[in-house]
Amino acid sequence: MLRVGVDIGGTFTDLMTFDESSGSVSRTKVPTTPRAPDEGLLSACRDAGVDMAQVSHFVHGTTLVTNLVIERAGSNVGLITTKGFRDVLLLQTGQRSTNFNLQWERNRPLVPRHLIVGVNERTDKNGNVVTPLDEDEVARAVGYLMEKGVESVAVCLFNAYINGDHERRIGQILQQQAPHAYVSLSSQVDPRIREYPRASTTVLNAYAMPKVYGYVDRLEKALSQEGDGGPPGGGVRYMHSGGGVIPSSVARQRPISLVESGPAAGVLACRYLGQRLGIQDIITADMGGTSFDVCMIRGGTPEIKDTTDVEFAIPVRSDSIDVVSIGAGGGSIAWVDEGGTLQVGPRSAGADPGPACYGAGGTEPTVTDANLVLGLLDAENFLGGRSRLDPSQAENAIAPIAKHFGMPTHQAARGIYDIVNVNMAQAVRQVTVQKGIDPREFTLIPFGGAGAQHAIDTARELDISSVLFPVNASTLSALGMLTADLTYTESRTLSQALSDLTTESLQREFQALEARATASLQGEEAGLTGTEVSWMTDARYVGQSWEIRVPIDPNKLSHDGVYEAFENVYRQRYGMVLGDPIELVNIHATATGRIQSLELPRDSVGPTTETPTPKGRRKTAFYDDPVPVYDRETLRQGMTIPSPCIVQEVDNTIFLPHGCTSRVDEYGNIRTTITETTARKVEELDPFTAEIIRSYLISTVEEMMKSTTSAAYSSTFAERLDFTCGVFDSQGRMVAQSQGIPTHAGTMMDSMMACINAFEGTFQEGDAVILNDVYQGGSHQPDVMIMRPIFYEGRLIAFSANRGHWTDIGGMTAGGFSGTARHVVQEALNIPPAKIFEAGVVSVPIRDFILKNVRIPHQIWGDIQSQMAANLTAERRLKTLIEKYGLEMVLNGMDAALDYGRRRFRQKLLEMPDGKGKAVDFIDTDGYTDHLWRVEVAVEKKGDRIKIDCTGSDPQTYAVVNSSLVSSKANIYVAIMSVVDPGSFINSGVTEMIDLVLPQGSIVNPNYPAPVSAGWYAMLVLCDATIAAFGDWLPDRVTASSHGDRDNTTWWGFNPETGKEWVWYWSQHGGAGARATKDGEAVAPNPRNNSRIPSLELWEREYPVLFKGYEAAQDSGGPGRQRGGLAGYQEFLLMEDALFSAASTRHILKPKGIFGGGGGAVHAFVRVDDGNPRTIQELFDLPSPSKFSNLSMKKGGVFACASGGGGGYGDPLEREVEKVELDVLEGYVSLEGARRDYGVHIDPDTGKADRARTEELRREMRAAR
Q: How many CA atoms lie within 13 A of 703 on its CB side?
A: 30
The stretch 814-829 carries a mean pLDDT of 93
Q: Exposed, middle or buried: residue 98 (CB in 10 Å: 0-12, 13-18, 19+)?
A: middle
Query: Residue 924, Cβ neighbours under 10 Å: how many?
Result: 26
> Do residues 694 and 341 touch, judged by C-beta distance below 8 A?
yes
Which helix (H) or strand (E) is 574 found in, with range? helix 559-574
Measured distance CA(1229)–CA(1250) in Å, rounded? 17
State what percent of residues in the chain have pLDDT above 90: 74
Residues contacting 612, CB < 8 A, separation 6+: 630, 634, 635, 636, 639, 641
Neighbours of 949 (CB within 10 A): 18
Rounded to an integer, what distance in angstroms lies between the CA atom of residue 950 and that of residue 956? 13
Domains of the chain (ranges plus CATH)? 73-208 (3.40.1360), 326-477+603-674 (no CATH), 486-595 (3.30.1490), 687-904 (no CATH), 1039-1215 (no CATH)
Which residues does 983 contact at the CB level (< 8 Å), separation at least 6? 98, 100, 101, 338
Amino acid, single-letter form, for residue 109: P
What's the confidence (pLDDT) of residue 734? 97
End-to-end CA distance of the chain: 83
DSSP readout, 658-715?
SSEEEEE-TTS-EEEEES---S----S--HHHHHHHHHHHHHHHHHHHHHHHHH--SH
Q: Say what angle helices 37-48 and 195-226 make with each other, to 10 degrees.
A: 40
* 1164 three-state secondary structure: strand
Which among 185, 191, 443, 503 has a CA at the least distance from the CA of 317?
191
Closest CA to 693 of 368, 461, 871, 904: 461
The answer to whether the bond into 1085 is cis (omega within 30° of 0) is no
Phi-psi bin for 1263: left (phi > 0), alpha (psi -120 to 50), beta? alpha
pLDDT tens digits for 735-790?
A: 999 988 899 888 999 999 999 999 999 999 999 999 999 999 988 899 999 999 99
Q: How far apart are CA 681 and CA 1215, in angstroms?
A: 61
Angle between helices 965-980 and 742-759 (to 10 degrees): 140
Which pLDDT belongs to residue 1264? 94
Tell me how far apart the alpha carbons of residues 678 and 1244 are, in angstroms, rounded to a whole number.
71
- Neighbouring CB atoms inside 10 A of 560's CB total 9
Distance set, CA 8 to CA 37, 512, 846 (Å)? 7, 36, 60
Question: What's the pLDDT band for 412 if we cut at 50, 70, 90?
Answer: very high
pLDDT, one tens digit per residue, over 1071-1115 is 999 999 999 999 999 998 999 999 999 999 999 999 999 999 999
What's the pLDDT at 25? 87
**Looking at the predicted structure, is the pLDDT value of residue 1143 above 70?**
yes
- With beta carbons less than 8 A apart as the criterion, state whether 1118 and 1206 touch: yes
Q: What is the pLDDT of residue 677?
A: 66
CB 312 within 8 A of CB 97: yes
Measured between alpha carbons, how far is 618 from 572 in angstroms, rounded to an integer? 46
Q: What is the DSSP letter of 820?
A: S
pLDDT of residue 64: 85
Beta bridge partners of 786: 770, 802
pLDDT higher than 80, residue 1047: no
Asked which of 379-383, 477-481, 1005-1009 is least confident by mean pLDDT, the reply is 379-383
The closest alpha carbon to 954, from 935, 967, 968, belongs to 935
Q: How far apart are CA 1187 and CA 1147, in angstroms?
A: 10
Determine how many CB atoms are found less than 10 A away from the CB of residue 367. 31
Q: Tell me how far apart the alpha carbons of residues 663 and 611 are, in angstroms, rounded to a whole number.
A: 11
- Of 107-111, 178-182, 573-577, 1022-1026, the one with minimum mean pLDDT is 573-577
Whether residue 576 is predicted with pLDDT greater than 80 in this model: the reply is no
Residue 987's identity, in one-letter code, is: N
Separation CA 1173–CA 532 (nearest Å): 58
Is residue 233 within 8 Å of residue 210, measured between CB atoms?
Answer: no
Q: How far is CA 1260 from the centre of its chain?
A: 49
Rg (CA), the chain: 31
- Rounded CA gap, 203 and 191, in Å? 14
- Residues 60 and 4: their CA atoms lie apart, in Å, by 8
Question: Which class for 727: exposed (0-12), middle (13-18), buried (19 or more C-beta within 10 A)?
Answer: buried
Sign of CA dihedral 1221, 1225, 1227, 1230: positive
- Angstrom CA distances, 881 to 333, 420, 432, 464, 887, stand at 26, 17, 16, 15, 8
Residues facing 1066 on adjacent strands: 1049
CA separation for the pair 288, 1256 (Å, rounded): 59
Q: Mean per-residue pLDDT for 383-412?
A: 91
pLDDT > 70: percent of the chain:
98
- 271 in Cβ contact with 282 (< 8 Å): yes
Find, among 330, 321, 349, the residue nearest to 287 by Cα.
330
> Are 950 and 968 within 8 A, CB to CB?
yes
Q: What is the mean pLDDT of residues 92-104?
A: 91
Beta strands across the sheet bearing 834-838:
734-737, 723-729, 795-805, 783-792, 768-771, 834-838, 841-842
What is each CA distance from 517 to 320, 486, 538, 588, in whole angstroms? 16, 11, 18, 9
pTM listed for this prediction: 0.93
Q: What is the pLDDT of residues 950-981, one digit of tens each?
A: 999 999 999 999 999 999 999 999 999 999 99
Higher-confidence position of 241 and 523: 241
Q: Are 852 and 777 in contact (CB under 8 A)?
A: no
pLDDT for the residue numbered 230: 60
Handedness of CA 477, 479, 483, 488 (dihedral sign): positive
* Model confidence pLDDT, tens digit, residues 489-537: 899 889 899 999 999 999 999 999 999 999 888 777 767 788 899 999 9
The pLDDT value recorded for residue 229 is: 57
C-alpha to C-alpha distance for 303 and 536, rounded to whole angstroms: 13
Question: What pLDDT, in 10s, does the model give residues 1164-1189?
Answer: 999 998 888 999 999 999 999 999 99
Among 565, 483, 462, 467, which residue's Cα sits nearest to residue 527? Answer: 483
